[in-house]
Chains A and B, each alone.
Chain A
């Protein structure tokens, strides 16, 4: 494998990414403690993307899902494209200033949520027949039972319903953190918050 040897990311971004990846996994403990019907497994990816730009966000997404694949289940390798889209879109929306206001952060979350949901639904349908043994999978069954739509359609609706709640909440968390982060530090990243 041969990758370009040029300097891809700042040292600060390189130091932040592993912590953001760990954050994506560690926030699961917070979600469990609060028993919230969300995942919040992309907060680290969104944070890096907003602070250090889309390329850093994409790198965080790839490493995050690769580490999840190694530590939790190889099935999560399949969702690397979703993490890439989340990292890229968060970086782009950050660059246009979406995270300078609460409303902008929610709007960015909705855009990221819909895109991530559609892509993850396509992957779940193609690889797993539309169902996973997760909260989204059981929501898919419930939608199929109540609305009588096909499993594929139910999977798409369930993915959108989950991500449209999860990603705006993740973006609001990132917005709140950026508000509290020392200006000196966020300016050092040179990203959208500066």
Chain B
């Protein structure tokens, strides 16, 4: 996977994405999420991943909006001023605000998820002190998923051939009884395999707490390092400002 984001050290877009997510939630509503969403989608489009990030965002934000409006329209509160099946402006705006906030967060994180290869991100984190064990867990997990899925399909096919009932005609009790026959071999196989993998790790003198030297270090210019410092400082300032506002509001109320 390559994108325009590969020109950057992965920690820089990661810092920006985390800052955008936090700002979307703590900033003035509903305009901050709108701005965050626009910024994230523009960055995604400029990086050549606009379509995928937009799809990820819509997949979460749109159903949330539809469900929230639907519930209010179909089952309004007893105290609600609007009639059933008539959407009220207030609750529609509430649903829009929640969906926008959620969409902004998904879009900001989506830029990282779609645009930055996990292996590259983990290597960049390792260069900043992430120990070998944590880097190993992330990379090995990502690599283990396709194999486990393939094995699950194999187990299902094998048990179906042996006559384990799992179709639509089988009741819930029958399908529950079939569960150990399907999940058991998969789980036991993965656990016993981990022993072999542990032996391989020991044989290679894997040191979980060690910091590894990268063969091809990921570039990290002075400009990017400063950019990240500015992002973290701006985020800390925004959080402090929001906390101060919150405390100020409390003191006025009391």
Residues of A whose CB lies within 8 Å of any CB of B are: 1-12, 14-23, 25-27, 29-30, 33-36, 40, 43, 47, 51, 59, 63-64, 66-67, 69-71, 73-75, 77, 127-133, 137, 141, 144-145, 148, 150-151, 169, 173, 176-177, 180-182, 185, 188
Contacts and interface: CB of A to CB of B under 8 A. Distances in A.
Contacts of B206: 11, 14
B109 A16 contact: no
Contacts of B176: 34, 36, 169
Interface in B37-89: 56, 59-60, 63-64, 67-68, 70-71, 74-75, 77-78
Given A34-B182, A131-B67, 10 more contacts: A18-B143, A22-B144, A26-B148, A33-B156, A34-B166, A34-B175, A74-B106, A127-B101, A131-B68, A132-B64
Interface centre among B143, B145, B198 (most CB of A within 10 A): B145
A6 B134 CA distance: 12
B118 to A, nearest CB: 6
A67 B98 contact: no
B190 A22 contact: yes
B183 A173 contact: yes
A5 B210 contact: yes
Interface centre among B75, B140, B141, B211 (most CB of A within 10 A): B141
A77 B198 CA distance: 28
B149 A25 contact: yes
A168 to B, nearest CB: 12
Nearest to A138: B67
B68 A185 contact: no
A40 B78 CA distance: 37
Nearest to B176: A36
Contacts of A73: 56, 59-60, 106
Contact of A14 (B71, B143, B191, B198): B198
A163 to B, nearest CB: 17
Contact of A43 (B168, B187, B188, B195): B187
A21 B149 CA distance: 11
> Which 3 pairs, one residue from A and one from B, show the smallest C-beta to C-beta distance?
A133-B63, A22-B148, A74-B109
Interface of B: 56, 59-60, 63-64, 67-68, 70-71, 74-75, 77-78, 94-95, 98, 101-102, 105-106, 109-110, 112-113, 118, 125, 128-131, 133-134, 136-138, 140-145, 147-149, 151-153, 155-156, 166, 168, 172, 175-176, 178-180, 182-184, 186-188, 190-195, 197-198, 201-202, 206, 208-211
A131 B176 CA distance: 28
Contact of B142 (A26, A67, A151): A67
30 contacts: A1-B125, A3-B129, A5-B131, A5-B211, A7-B209, A11-B206, A19-B148, A19-B190, A19-B194, A20-B190, A22-B147, A23-B187, A29-B153, A30-B179, A33-B166, A34-B175, A36-B175, A47-B187, A69-B113, A70-B142, A71-B142, A74-B106, A127-B101, A128-B64, A133-B60, A141-B70, A151-B71, A173-B184, A173-B187, A177-B188
B179 A34 contact: yes
Nearest to A37: B172
